[in-house]
């Protein structure tokens, strides 16, 4: 009957309203207990990890990472992600290359992990969910990402989008993302900018999709004007209490807004940090 029908992607009831960790690891976080989070299946821990030196572990992970990613992707499916483009992209991008070597063994857990400067790489489920919502029923060619961090989400986007424009405001992270993206040969499709993403990239607009990886009290208005008509923006909004918001530009002067579930992201900040 009705309840068996798949829910419309914009239906806020589609996912349980539990808080999920986006780019923030949450209160009480330490690298040793980062499973603070989240709903969904149990985090995966590499069994071989115990007692191995880091370099050997990284090599081991390199050899096994395809299998670990396949497990991550099947967990994402179980958690309701059904966009095949997004799933294929998450299968293709080696997330362990985007985190510090010491955390590489945990790269395929469904957890946000620290990347330095008080920032984090977003939880895989959140990346998959946001990219699915931004692109469902569409074929986005030019997408803007605010908050590139270590570059992971931009690399995932680059698997199915022709041109990704990504902005990061922390100089050290911008450099990190640049190196990570070059190493993975994703750079050709990602145009990384050091700057304040709250302003967007006016001279490259309009975009077929905008993904914001940090939470502002309000979604910056400049970004709404840089959406193409029919395109979608997905962003967390709020400070202590945050919600994921999906906005679709329906005409030159109208936008439709839907509030989705509670989330926890690092704050969207103005200006840049050297
Ligand atoms: N997209 C990343 C998530 C990084 S965390 C991933 O793939 O995991 C969010 C990032 O947003 C942080 O690196 C933070 O520095 C950045 N950020 C916050 N405010 C910003 C702004 N106004 N412009 C650009 N980046 C911003």
pLDDT (tens digit, 9 = 90+) per residue, 158-190?
Answer: 999 999 999 999 999 999 999 999 987 676 799
Residue 187 has what pLDDT? 62
Residue 20 has what pLDDT? 67
* Ranges 18-22, 34-38, 247-251: which has the least confidence: 34-38
Domain 20-26+46-264 has CATH 3.90.1330.10: no
89 has pLDDT over 50: yes
Residue 19 has what pLDDT? 61
What is the number of the ligand 1 atom nearest to the C-alpha of 152?
7
Q: CA 242, CA 90: separation in Å to the nearest integer?
A: 25
Residues 54/99, Cβ–Cβ less than 8 Å: no
Q: How deeply is 165 buried, as exposed, middle or buried, from its count of CB atoms within 10 A (0-12, 13-18, 19+)? A: buried
Residue 118 has what pLDDT? 96
Q: Bigger pLDDT: 222 or 5?
A: 222
Query: What tokens were used for 49?
Result: 């990890």
Query: What tokens were used for 79?
Result: 């958690």
Domain range summary for the chain, segments of one domain joined by +:
20-26+46-264
Q: What pTM does this model have?
A: 0.84
Dihedral angle sign, alpha carbons of residues 240, 272, 151, 157: positive
Residue 63 has what pLDDT? 59
Residues at CB less than 6 angstroms from ligand 1: 23, 119-122, 146-149, 152-153, 167-170, 173, 196-198, 213-214, 266, 268-269
Q: CA 267, CA 249: separation in Å to the nearest integer?
A: 24
Q: What angle do CA 130, 220, 269 make, to 5 degrees?
A: 85
Residues 248/230, Cβ–Cβ less than 8 Å: yes
Q: Does the active-site annotation cover 122?
A: yes
Cα 251 to middle of ligand 1, angstroms: 29
Q: Give the containing element (helix H, strand E) for 134.
A: helix 124-135
User: Ligand 1, from 94, 149, 271: best to mutate by most atoms within 8 Å of Cβ?
Assistant: 149
Q: CA 207, CA 269: separation in Å to the nearest integer?
A: 22
Atom 8, ligand 1: residue with shortest CA distance: 121
Cα 5 to middle of ligand 1, angstroms: 36
Outline where 143-188 has alpha helix (H): 152-157, 171-183
Average pLDDT score over the chain: 84
Question: 23-55: per-residue pLDDT in tens?
Answer: 665 443 333 333 323 233 333 333 333 344 455
Rounded average pLDDT over 138-157: 97
Residue 21 has what pLDDT? 67
Q: How deeply is 11 buried, as exposed, middle or buried, from its count of CB atoms within 10 A (0-12, 13-18, 19+)? A: exposed
Q: Bigger pLDDT: 55 or 238?
A: 238
Residues 137/50, Cβ–Cβ less than 8 Å: no
* Ranges 25-34, 65-74, 124-133: which has the least confidence: 25-34
Spot the catalytic one: 24, 34, 105, 122: 122
Cα 242 to middle of ligand 1, angstroms: 16
Atom 18, ligand 1: residue with shortest CA distance: 268
């Amino acid at each position: 009957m009705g309840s068996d029908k798949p829910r419309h992607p914009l239906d806020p009831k589609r996912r349980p309203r539990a808080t999920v960790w986006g780019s923030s690891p949450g209160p009480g976080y330490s690298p040793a207990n980062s499973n603070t989070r989240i709903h969904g299946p149990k985090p995966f821990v590499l069994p071989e990890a115990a007692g191995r030196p880091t370099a050997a572990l990284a090599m081991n992970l390199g050899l096994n990472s395809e299998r670990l990613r396949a497990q991550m992707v099947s967990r994402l499916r179980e958690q309701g992600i059904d966009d095949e483009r997004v799933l294929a992209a998450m299968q293709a991008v080696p997330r362990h290359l985007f985190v510090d070597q010491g955390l590489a063994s945990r790269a395929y857990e469904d957890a946000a992990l620290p990347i330095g400067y008080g920032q984090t790489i977003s939880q895989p489920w959140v990346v998959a969910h946001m990219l699915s919502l931004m692109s469902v029923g569409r074929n986005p060619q030019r997408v803007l990402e605010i908050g590139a961090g270590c570059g992971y989400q931009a690399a995932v986007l680059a698997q199915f989008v022709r041109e990704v424009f990504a902005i990061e405001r922390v100089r050290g992270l911008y450099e990190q993302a640049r190196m990570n993206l070059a190493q993975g040969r994703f750079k050709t499709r990602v145009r990384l900018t050091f700057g304040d993403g709250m302003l967007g990239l006016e001279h490259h607009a309009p975009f077929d999709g905008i993904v914001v990886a940090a939470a502002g009290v309000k979604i910056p208005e400049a970004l709404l004007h840089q959406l193409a008509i029919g395109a979608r923006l997905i962003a967390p909004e709020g400070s202590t209490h945050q919600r994921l918001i999906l906005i679709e530009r329906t005409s030159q002067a109208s936008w439709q807004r839907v509030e989705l579930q509670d989330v926890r992201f690092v704050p969207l900040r103005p200006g840049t940090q050297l």
